[in-house]
């Protein structure tokens, strides 16, 4: 790369946004999300810049006298920044301490492209002496034979000054991370793009920082996967765990067993060439691709192609519930040969040393009610279904190990006598993490981070991977309601001794156990996620979790999360994600030409949580016929997070704390929401796809009127009683999906939408004068 001029094409659609990059969230929002928690005096000088610092303390503590720290996310271990910045030059000279590999040159090209998009103008990278006004970026790294791998070197040190930029990395991954952080130091000011001066020393807390993406339930085309890789690189996630085989479909071309992809994929699968492209593109970004092919349960798609390996035949092809239940027959000698051959072919496509075999949610009835399996168990003195699965797991793990693979499985597999180096993925709660680490197994934690629960970013962010108490009951409930219990076996009542025993959290992990926690990963199961919903269902929540997995616990302060996350969301979209764009397309499909009122509503509401929006799951729990859930309703478009609602709630907190100058701001916001209902009703009259949200729209208007009345505007004789009623209704809707335990038997609010401005309105009402 003698000379590289960035291509602005990827950012063309964002051109109008560039000047507004750090202005996308009003300055008052950035300020108040910190101030409202502390009651500190406003500091107007921070207006256009990103809040937060490496320490993650409230904004006012770091924004004084015009000092504007840069937004680097995940928060680095050390970030020293005075707030000073200098104009981003049009020429940047790269100086490598040793000849760069093609991989490093491609990383520099991506940096060039990102800087151009962020700057809004071309930037030229050269390896020749800098012209007048140019800047030198010096990159030093040793040769790295461990890249990408579980032991790759990710630490780096970055110095950015007007006289030069220096990046010293411990390995190729450190170079990638340092370049990513460098791109985050760009911001727009009145006179154009500038680069913040900074000193950064950084390394990750956990080696495994993953994103698990289910492509079986809904197929995600290759371009959608590639887009996630760029976003993952920006937030320093380093493992893409891709769930490629489940009851719904088998998603990879098999040349050994072609019926797997011709029948088992329903026509949607990745060719082997596409898999190789995905692996290459991921490796370029320091991301390992760990494949998962789930057996012996969740095998309906495989058995649709090769039914002779089924535990029960003929397959039930009319009951959608069977898609999750159908299992292989481990007593058939040919089954192990089939699975081992499938795994051998798939393992050859994915060079990562880790291969995920699934092993979760084997429904006991699949084996216990099969006469020939029961006879086999009796003949071979196998006492239980769990012991039968353990025998299967041992054989499969041994075969993979002979091929040089480290086996990974969901925490059910630890019931078997598995190889000591088997990696356990803990999803059913801290007790299983404790069990795995006590047995000496390296462990990856995903249970608290299931994005399909549709919780807001703050709920995930406040759960540390090593926390053995928070959310223990919820993860156990998830396992009960989606896992190995037969569908006619209800979970134990929350008040029962059995339930209380399950919910009792284990003691904290010992130092030896903590050493076995490799890290954690966000997980998105896609029963109710289509490709055009993908980006918005992953991001920006995955960015919050990327920080939780990278930064030390003390730096993960939720009080500054939302303003920083709002910035990061816009930055990721600017650089190629389609969360905002796809949301707008979904709205345009739902209400062409009349999207404005729906967009205003969706600023203040979110979908119901904890699987309440997964109607098929609820149908199965209620012994109803499971039907395919159509997607594209308002609840599918609504985000689990609302930056506008978070801003309003923060403003309300600040107002109550004494910032009375915010009254006008609050009144304007509430007036917009109060007046939106009539516009939404008119749009819904022409677009029936909006009608499920009519009740939510009316509730938002009622809450907004309550807030206005609390501020003294538009009061009626019964205003306080009406306000309390509106709050009670909204809180009841929120409570209906407050936990997995209550979702199963609690009616959900109309349209599966809940109100997000309740905390702010309630604060205003509590302090309102008569």
Q: Do 296 and 329 reside in the same domain of the chain?
A: yes
Coil, strand or helix: which one is 617?
helix
The answer on 285 and 267 residing in a single domain is yes
The rounded radius of gyration (Å) of the Cα atoms in the chain is 27
**CA–CA distance, 359 with 353 (Å, rounded to integer):** 18
* CA 651 – CA 657 distance, rounded (Å): 10
User: By C-alpha distance, which of 757, 769, 748 is closest to 660?
Assistant: 769
φ, ψ at 680 (rounded to 5°) = -65, -40
272, with CB counted inside 10 A (0-12, 13-18, 19+), is middle
What's residue 477's pLDDT?
A: 62
Same domain, 598 and 616: yes
Looking at 169, 202, 235, the residue that finishes a domain is 202
Read off the pTM. Answer: 0.90
Q: Is 578 helix (H, G, I), strand (E, B) or coil?
A: coil
Q: What is the pLDDT of residues 381-428, one digit of tens each?
A: 999 999 999 999 999 999 999 999 999 999 999 988 889 999 999 999
CA angle 584, 585, 588 (to 5 degrees): 85
From 743, 709, 738, select the one nearest 725 (Cα to Cα): 709
**Euclidean distance between CA atoms 549 and 718, whole angstroms:** 50
Q: What are 689-703's pLDDT values in tens digits?
A: 999 999 999 999 999
Q: Are 493 and 459 in a shared domain? A: yes
How many CA atoms lie within 13 Å of 633's alpha carbon, on the beta-carbon side?
19
Report d(CA 638, CA 751) in Å as an integer. 11
Question: Which domain CATH number covers 384?
Answer: 3.20.20.80
Residues 194 and 217 in one domain: no
Which of 181, 187, 195, 227 is CA-nearest to residue 24?
187
Domain boundary among 202, 222, 249: 202
Taking the CA atoms of residue 257, residue 262, residue 267 and residue 269 in that order, the dihedral angle to the nearest 10 degrees is 10
Total number of residues shown for the chain: 770
Q: How far is CA 346 from CA 179, 223, 244, 642, in A?
A: 33, 21, 10, 41
Strand, helix or coil for residue 249: coil
Q: Residue 288 forms beta bridges with which residues?
A: 239
In a domain, 571, yes or no: no
Let me know whether 639 and 755 are in one domain: yes
Question: What is the full DSSP assignment across 498-516?
Answer: HHHHHHSPPPPPPHHHHTT
The backbone torsions φ and ψ at residue 50, rounded to the nearest 5 degrees and listed phi first, read -80, 140
Q: Are residues 508 and 608 in the same domain?
A: no
Distance CA 219, CA 517 (A): 31
**What are the phi and psi torsion angles at 71 (to 5°)?**
-95, 110
Q: Would residue 562 count as lying in a domain?
A: no
Looking at the fold, whether 73 and 193 belong to one and the same domain comes out as yes
d(CA 755, CA 733): 8
* Alpha carbon 446 to chain centroid, angstroms: 11
Q: Which residues of the chain have pLDDT under 50?
A: 7-65, 481-493, 496-501
Distance of CA 196 to the CA centre of its chain: 28
Q: Which of 174, 237, 248, 189 is nearest to 66 (CA)?
A: 189
Domain count of the chain?
A: 3
Kindly write down the DSSP assignment for every residue of 179-247, as one continuous string.
HHHHHTTEEEETTEEEEE-EEEEE--S-SEEEEEEE-SSS---HHHHHHHHHHHHHTT--EEEEEEESS
Residue 555: inside a domain: no
**By the 8 A CB rule, do 369 and 419 touch?**
no
Residues 164 and 270 in one domain: no
Q: Residue 517: which H helix or E strand, with range?
A: strand 517-524
DSSP code per residue over 532-565:
GGHHHHHTTHHHHHHHHHHS-GGG--GGGHHHHH
In a shared domain, residues 499 and 584: no
Backbone angles phi, psi at 743, to 5 degrees: -60, -45
**Within this chain, do residues 151 and 266 fall inside the same structural domain, yes or no?**
no
Q: How far apart are CA 503 and CA 384, in angstroms?
A: 25
CA–CA gap between residue 473 and residue 501 (Å, rounded): 10
Instruction: Report the distance separating Cα 518 and Cα 564, nearest Å.
Output: 27
Distance CA 437, CA 440 (A): 5
The last residue of one of the domains, among 156, 181, 202, is 202
Cα–Cα distance between 423 and 411 in angstroms, integer?
Answer: 9
287 contacts 229 by C-beta, under 8 angstroms:
yes
Four-CA torsion 354, 356, 357, 362, nearest 10 degrees: 150
Q: For the chain, how far is it from start to end, CA to CA, in angstroms? A: 71
Answer whether residue 564 is part of any domain. Answer: no
Distance between CA atoms of residues 443 and 410, nearest Å:
10
Check whether residue 364 and residue 299 sit in a common domain. Answer: yes
Pairing verdict, β 78-80 and 198-202: antiparallel
Distance CA 342, CA 362 (A): 19
Q: What is the largest CA-CA distance in the chain?
A: 85
Q: What is the DSSP string of 290-314?
A: EEEEEESSS-HHHHHH-GGGBSSSS
Question: Is 471 part of any domain?
Answer: yes
- Cα torsion angle, 450, 454, 455, 461, sign: positive
Q: Quote the CA–CA distance of 239 and 340 in Å, as a whole number.
A: 24
- Interatomic CA distance for residues 244 and 63, integer angstroms: 47
* 608 domain residue, yes or no: yes
DSSP type of residue 595: -
Conformation bin of residue 447: beta by default, left when phi > 0, alpha when psi is -120 to 50: alpha
Q: Categorise residue 165: left if φ over 0, alpha if ψ from -120 to 50, beta otherwise.
A: beta
Helix (H, G, I), strand (E, B) or coil at 407: strand
Closest CA to 185 of 196, 200, 172, 170: 196
Contact criterion met (CB below 8 Å) for 533 and 636: yes
**Phi, psi torsion values for 623, nearest 5 degrees:** 60, 35
417 and 401 in contact (C-beta within 8 Å)?
no
Asked if the structure places residue 741 within a domain, the reply is yes
Q: What is residue 438's predicted lDDT score, i.e. its pLDDT?
A: 97
Q: Is residue 469 part of a domain?
A: yes
Q: What is the DSSP letter of 132?
A: T
pLDDT of residue 332: 95
Range of the domain at 735: 578-767
Query: What residues have CB less than 8 Å from 194, skipping those under 6 apart?
Result: 85, 86, 87, 88, 186, 187, 188
């Amino acid at each position: 790369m003698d000379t590289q001029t960035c291509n602005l094409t990827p950012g063309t659609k964002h051109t109008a946004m560039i000047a507004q990059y750090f202005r996308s969230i009003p300055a008052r929002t950035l300020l108040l999300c910190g101030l409202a928690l502390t009651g500190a005096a406003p500091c107007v000088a921070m207006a256009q810049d990103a809040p937060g610092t490496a320490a993650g303390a409230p904004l006012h503590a770091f924004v004084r006298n015009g000092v504007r720290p840069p937004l680097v996310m995940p928060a680095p271990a050390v970030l020293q920044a005075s707030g000073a910045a200098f104009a981003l030059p049009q020429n940047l000279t790269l100086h490598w301490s040793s000849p760069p590999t093609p991989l490093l040159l491609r990383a520099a090209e991506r940096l060039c492209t990102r800087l151009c998009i962020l700057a809004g103008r071309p930037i030229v990278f050269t390896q020749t002496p800098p012209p007048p006004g140019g800047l030198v970026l010096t990159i030093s790294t040793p040769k790295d034979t461990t890249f990408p791998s579980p032991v790759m070197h990710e630490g780096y040190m970055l110095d950015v000054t007007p006289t030069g930029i220096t990046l010293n990395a411990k390995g190729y991954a450190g170079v990638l991370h340092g370049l990513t952080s460098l791109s985050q130091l760009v911001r727009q000011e009145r006179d154009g793009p500038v680069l913040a001066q900074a000193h950064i020393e950084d390394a990750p807390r956990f080696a495994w920082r993953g994103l698990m993406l289910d492509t079986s339930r809904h197929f995600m085309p290759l371009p959608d996967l590639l887009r996630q890789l760029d976003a993952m690189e920006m937030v320093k996630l380093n493992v893409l765990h891709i769930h490629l085989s489940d009851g719904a479909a088998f998603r990879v071309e098999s040349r050994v067993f072609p019926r797997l992809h011709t029948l088992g994929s329903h026509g949607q699968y990745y060719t082997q060439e596409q898999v190789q492209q995905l692996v290459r593109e991921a490796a370029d970004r320091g991301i390992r691709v760990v494949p998962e092919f789930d057996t012996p349960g969740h095998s309906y798609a495989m058995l649709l192609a090769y039914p002779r390996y089924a535990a029960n035949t003929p397959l039930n092809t009319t009951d959608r519930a069977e898609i999750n239940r159908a299992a292989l027959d481990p007593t058939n000698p040919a089954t192990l040969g089939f699975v081992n051959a499938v795994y051998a072919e798939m393992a050859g496509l994915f060079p990562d040393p880790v291969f995920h075999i699934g092993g979760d949610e084997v429904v006991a009835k699949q084996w216990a009610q099969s006469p020939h399996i029961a006879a086999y168990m009796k003949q071979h003195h196998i006492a239980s279904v769990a012991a039968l699965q353990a025998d299967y797991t041992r054989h499969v793990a041994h075969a993979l190990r002979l091929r040089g693979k480290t086996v990974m499985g969901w925490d059910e597999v630890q019931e078997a006598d598995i190889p000591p180096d088997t990696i356990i993925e803990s999803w059913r709660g801290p007790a299983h993490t404790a069990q795995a680490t006590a047995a000496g197994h390296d462990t990856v934690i995903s249970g608290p981070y299931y994005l399909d629960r549709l919780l807001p970013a703050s709920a995930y962010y406040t759960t540390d991977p090593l926390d053995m108490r928070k959310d223990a009951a919820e993860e156990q409930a998830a396992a009960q309601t989606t896992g190995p219990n037969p569908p006619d076996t209800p979970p134990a009542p929350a008040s029962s001794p059995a339930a209380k025993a399950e919910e009792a959290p284990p003691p904290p992990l010992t130092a030896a156990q903590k050493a076995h926690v490799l890290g954690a990963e966000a997980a998105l199961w896609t029963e109710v996620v289509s490709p055009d919903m993908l980006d918005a269902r992953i991001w920006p929540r995955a960015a919050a979790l990327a920080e939780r997995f990278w930064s030390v616990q003390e730096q993960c302060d939720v009080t500054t999360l939302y303003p920083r996350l709002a910035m990061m969301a816009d930055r990721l979209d600017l650089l190629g994600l389609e969360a905002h764009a796809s949301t707008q397309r979904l709205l345009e499909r739902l209400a062409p030409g009349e999207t404005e009122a729906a967009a205003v509503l969706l600023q203040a509401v979110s979908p119901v949580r904890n699987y309440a929006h997964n109607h098929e799951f609820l149908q199965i729990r209620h012994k109803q016929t499971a039907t395919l859930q159509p997607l594209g309703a308002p609840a599918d478009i609504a985000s689990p997070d609302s930056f506008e609602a978070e801003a309003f709630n923060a403003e309300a907190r600040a107002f109550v704390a004494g910032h009375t100058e915010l009254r006008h701001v609050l009144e304007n916001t509430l007036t917009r929401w109060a007046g939106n209902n009539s516009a939404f009703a008119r749009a819904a009259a022409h677009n029936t796809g909006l009608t499920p949200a009519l009740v939510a729209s009316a509730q938002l208007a009622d809450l907004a009127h309550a807030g206005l009345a609390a501020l003294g505007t538009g009061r009626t004789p019964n205003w306080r009683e009406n306000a309390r009623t509106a709050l009670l209704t909204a809180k009841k809707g929120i409570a209906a999906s407050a936990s997995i335990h209550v979702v199963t038997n609690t009616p959900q609010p109309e349209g599966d939408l809940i109100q997000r401005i309740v905390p702010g309105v309630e604060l205003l009402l509590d302090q309102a004068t008569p």
